[in-house]
Amino acid sequence: MFCKGITRLLLLLSLAVYGVIGQAAEDNDYRLGAGDTMRIVVFQNPDLTTEVRVSESGVISYPLLGSVELGGLTVAGAEKKIAGLLKEGKFVQQPQVNIVLTQIRGNQVSVLGQVNRPGRYPLETFNTHVSDVLALAGGANGIGSDSVILTGVRNNKPFRKEIDIPGLFLDDKRKDDVLVEGGDLIYVQRAPMYYIYGEVQRPGSYRVERNMTLMQALAQSGGPTLRGTQKNMKIFRRGASGKLEEKSLDLTAPVNSEDVLYVRESLF
C-alpha cells in the first residue's frame, strides 16, 4: 500500500514537472503576428485544409468558423483553438489540427545602421535578446559603434535603451541584454572617430578604440615619419562652444571622439 502511494506521488510530481516544462516551452515559442502565412491541415478532412494569412488585427478567415483571432498565440495554441472551435461547432468530432508556417512576417525586429546585414528579422522564439538579433544581422561592421540603440514600445509607452555590447561580456552586464519585441528597432551608429595628419605614416581617420590613449592613436597611424616627431604633437579637441581648441595633453591621455592630432616636422 505504501509503495503504491509513493508510486502515485512520483507520477503526479512527474506530470506536474512535465506540465511546467511544457508551459515554459510554449511560452518561449514563436507568437503569430500580422502578415504571417500558414497552412492549416485537419486530419481526414481535406475540405478544411487551407492556407491563410494573419490580418493586421490578428485574425484569419477559416472555413465553417469564419473569423478566428490567432494573433499572439503560439502555433500549438492556434492548433488547439481551431480544434476546439471545430469540436464545439460539431463540425468534426475529434479534430486533429496541424499548422505549418509558410512565411513569417509578424513580430519582426528591424536592424539598421553600421551592421553587415541590415534588414528585418522575425522573432522565431519569444525569448530573443538584443545580442541574438545583432548576431542574425552579422554584427557591427568595421566602422560600427560598440553600443547599439534599442527603440520600441513597452507598456504602451515609447522605449529607448542604449546598450554597450562588449560590456555585456567583458563587464558581466548580461542584465542589459534585454528581450526584444515585435516592432522594435536596433540601430548601430557609426563608431567615434579621431583624425590624424602631418608627418605620420598613414594620415586619415580612425576608430576610437576602448580606453585608447593618444600614444596608441599615433601608433595606429603607423607612427611618425622619418621627418616627424611625437614631441609637442598638437591636439585639437572640441570644447563646450563646439569649436576645436588646442590642448596640451600627455601622450597617456585618452582619445576623445572627433579629436584632431597633428604631428609636426622635426626641427633637427
Q: What 3-state DSSP class applies to 73? A: coil
pLDDT at residue 6, rounded to an integer? 54
H-only helix segments in the chain: 2-27, 75-88, 130-136, 165-170, 214-220
Whether 174 has a pLDDT exceeding 90, the answer reads no
pLDDT at residue 32, rounded to an integer? 87
Identify the structural domains of the chain with CATH numbers, from first to last: 2-103 (3.30.1950.10), 108-188 (3.10.560.10), 193-263 (3.10.560.10)
Angle 87-74-99 (CA atoms, 0-180°, nearest 5)?
60
DSSP string, 156-208: TEEEEEEEEHHHHHHS--GGGSPBP-TT-EEEEPBPPEEEEEESBSS-EEEE-
Cβ-Cβ contacts under 8 Å for 101 (sequence gap 6 or more): 30, 36, 37, 38, 75
Q: Tell me the whole-structure pTM to 2 decimals.
A: 0.64
pLDDT at residue 69, rounded to an integer? 94
pLDDT confidence of 223, banded at 50, 70, 90?
very high
pLDDT at residue 22, rounded to an integer? 40
Given a contact cutoff of 8 angstroms between Cβ atoms, the answer to whether 185 and 109 are in contact is yes
